């Protein structure tokens, strides 16, 4: 077998993006994934996705509204790609694993550490692959930054900052992202950055953080930039204003096991914004962590700043792995529909893991660590003192998450 047959579970906006990612993979010589079915509790969403899949892939997959029904009726189904509202991730993932299916799940892996723990345990119990779709680290810019750090281009890092704060009171993609019991936007946004930070600099040991709810009411934006029909329909049906219960602004000092200290500001709300990143070493500065659709940069002491392409001439040995990444990004810099190409890489790696029986780069344990790192900021804010991330990962510190677990039925 050189391909795995998968079902897409969740046919909303992210599900649509995964269809486009699969279409990118199908057009390469490296395709190892075949779409075998679509599942969504809303049949109209699944039918819309089926029409899109037929246009993109040339074949209309069967549609289901129940995961177990799809697993029973689709021949040779071995895996699912779970892209639902993340508050349901743990339920669907654990169900899929119990059915004997391997699972790729979108980020955040789940909306509480306890839910993540259940997913990791289920994957171990049933002997199945559990992979988390974290795309920022797969971008060529992030890979190049990691290469520079590995070869100590700036010397051993000692200080970094990661600022990603946007102003305004607009609804952030969907209303549920503003509800604490659904995870909130700090988790939804933050796991991208905690994963990227950990990928570049290593695990976080201690967090001293604060968080606020600045915009208790969120308004519907006049238009959205996403061209997908699902997003346009959802925007048209959205209320003009929605209440917010989840914090939308966070600040923290992160102490890493390596000794690096990171200044963190992240959120979406209020009257000011700041967007800046840097990794400092004794020999220079890397002014970005990398990320989706970004470009690496480098400033060495006493030299002119270098842009992405200039850095590549200094490190001719730098290569993108696997061969699919080199195929999708032949110039070793982002190009074209970068979002879809990164999804293609996630799907391809998942296929390789299932076929070869190996662990994914971002497995369930890594996904849990990303979620716990964000919650460490919120747990620190809730208890008014610094917390150890290992205590959040274990569940020993969970004051902030307690009502979320209660809403999930995990309390």
pLDDT tens, 79-129? 999 999 999 999 999 999 999 999 999 999 999 999 999 999 999 999 999
Residue listed under structure tokens 């998450």:
401
* Measured distance CA(346)–CA(244) in Å, rounded: 32
Q: So what's the pLDDT on residue 232? A: 86
Q: So what's the pLDDT on residue 354? A: 98
> Quick one: tokens of 278?
């840097």
Q: So what's the pLDDT on residue 1? A: 65
Count CB neighbours of 125 within 10 A: 11
* Measured distance CA(18)–CA(350) in Å, rounded: 13
* Measured distance CA(114)–CA(401) in Å, rounded: 9
Q: Is the pLDDT of residue 137 over 70?
A: yes
Residues 161-175, mean pLDDT to the nearest whole number: 95
| pTM reported for the whole predicted model | 0.97
Give pairs for 226-231: CB < 8 Å, separation 24+.
226/13, 228/13, 228/16, 228/17, 229/16, 229/48, 229/52, 230/11, 230/12, 230/13, 230/15, 230/16, 230/45, 230/48, 230/49, 231/13, 231/16
Map out the domains of the chain as residue ranges: 4-136+344-363, 137-321
CATH class of 137-321: alpha beta
CA atoms lying within 13 Å on the CB side of residue 289: 27
Which residues partner with 249 through β-bridges? 212, 267
Judged on CB neighbours under 10 Å (0-12, 13-18, 19+), 159 is middle
Q: So what's the pLDDT on residue 103? A: 99
Q: Helix 229-237 vs helix 13-26: angle between axes, to the nearest 10 degrees?
A: 170
Q: Is the pLDDT of residue 50 over 90?
A: yes
Collapse the DSSP code of 322 into the 3-class scheme (helix H, G, I; strand E, B; otherwise coil) and give the result: coil
Positive or negative CA dihedral for 304, 307, 310, 316?
positive
Total residue count of the chain as it appears in this document: 411
Give the residue among 50, 52, 22 at the shortest CA–CA distance from 38. Answer: 50
**pLDDT one-digit tens code per residue, 194-236:** 999 999 999 999 999 999 999 999 999 988 877 778 888 888 8
Q: So what's the pLDDT on residue 231? A: 80
* Measured distance CA(234)–CA(340) in Å, rounded: 21
Q: Which of 72-81, 231-240, 294-303, 304-313 has the lowest mean pLDDT?
A: 231-240
**pLDDT one-digit tens code per residue, 340-391:** 999 999 999 999 999 999 999 999 999 999 999 999 999 999 999 999 999 9
Asked if residue 110 lies in contact with residue 116, where contact means CB atoms within 8 angstroms, the answer is: yes
**4-136+344-363 topology per CATH:** Rossmann fold (3.40.50)
Q: So what's the pLDDT on residue 94? A: 98
The phi-psi region of residue 152 (left if phi > 0; otherwise alpha if psi is between -120 and 50; otherwise beta) is left
Asked if residue 80 lies in contact with residue 323, where contact means CB atoms within 8 angstroms, the answer is: no
Q: So what's the pLDDT on residue 112? A: 98
């Amino acid at each position: 077998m050189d391909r795995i047959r998968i079902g897409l579970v969740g046919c909303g906006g992210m599900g649509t993006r995964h269809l486009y990612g699969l279409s990118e993979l199908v057009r390469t010589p490296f395709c190892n994934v075949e779409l075998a079915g679509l599942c969504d509790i809303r049949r109209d969403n699944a039918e819309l996705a089926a029409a899109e899949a037929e246009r993109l892939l040339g074949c209309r997959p069967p549609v289901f509204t129940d995961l177990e029904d799809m697993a029973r009726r689709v021949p040779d189904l071995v895996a699912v790609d779970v892209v639902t509202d993340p508050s349901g991730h743990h339920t669907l993932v654990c169900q899929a694993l119990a059915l004997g299916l391997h699972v790729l799940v979108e980020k955040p892996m789940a909306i509480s550490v306890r839910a993540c723990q259940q997913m990791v345990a289920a994957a171990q119990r049933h002997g199945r692959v559990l992979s988390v779709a974290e795309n920022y680290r797969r971008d060529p810019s992030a890979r190049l930054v990691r290469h520079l750090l590995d070869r100590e281009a700036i010397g051993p890092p000692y200080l970094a900052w990661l600022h990603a704060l946007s102003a305004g009171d607009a609804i952030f993609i969907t209303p549920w992202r503003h509800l604490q019991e659904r995870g909130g936007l700090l988790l939804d946004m933050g796991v991208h950055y905690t994963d990227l930070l950990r990928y570049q600099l290593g695990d976080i040991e201690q967090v001293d953080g604060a968080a606020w709810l600045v915009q208790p009411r969120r308004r519907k934006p006049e238009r959205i930039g996403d061209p997908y029909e699902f997003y346009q329909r959802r925007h048209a049906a959205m209320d003009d204003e929605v209440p917010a219960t989840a914090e939308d602004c966070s600040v923290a000092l992160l102490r890493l096991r390596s000794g690096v200290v990171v200044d963190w500001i992240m959120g979406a709300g209020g009257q000011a914004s700041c967007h800046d990143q840097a990794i400092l070493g004794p020999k220079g500065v890397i002014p970005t962590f990398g990320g989706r659709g970004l470009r690496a940069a480098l400033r060495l002491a006493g030299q002119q700043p270098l842009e992405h392409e200039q850095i590549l001439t200094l490190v001719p040995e730098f290569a993108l792995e696997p061969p699919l990444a080199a195929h999708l990004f032949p110039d070793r810099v982002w190009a074209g529909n970068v979002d879809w190409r990164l999804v293609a890489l996630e799907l391809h790696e998942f296929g390789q893991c299932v076929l070869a029986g190996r662990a994914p780069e971002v497995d369930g344990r890594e996904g849990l660590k990303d979620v716990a790192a964000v919650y460490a900021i919120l747990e620190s804010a809730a208890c008014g003192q610094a917390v150890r991330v290992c205590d959040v990962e274990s569940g020993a510190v969970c004051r902030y998450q307690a009502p979320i677990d209660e809403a999930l039925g995990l309390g």
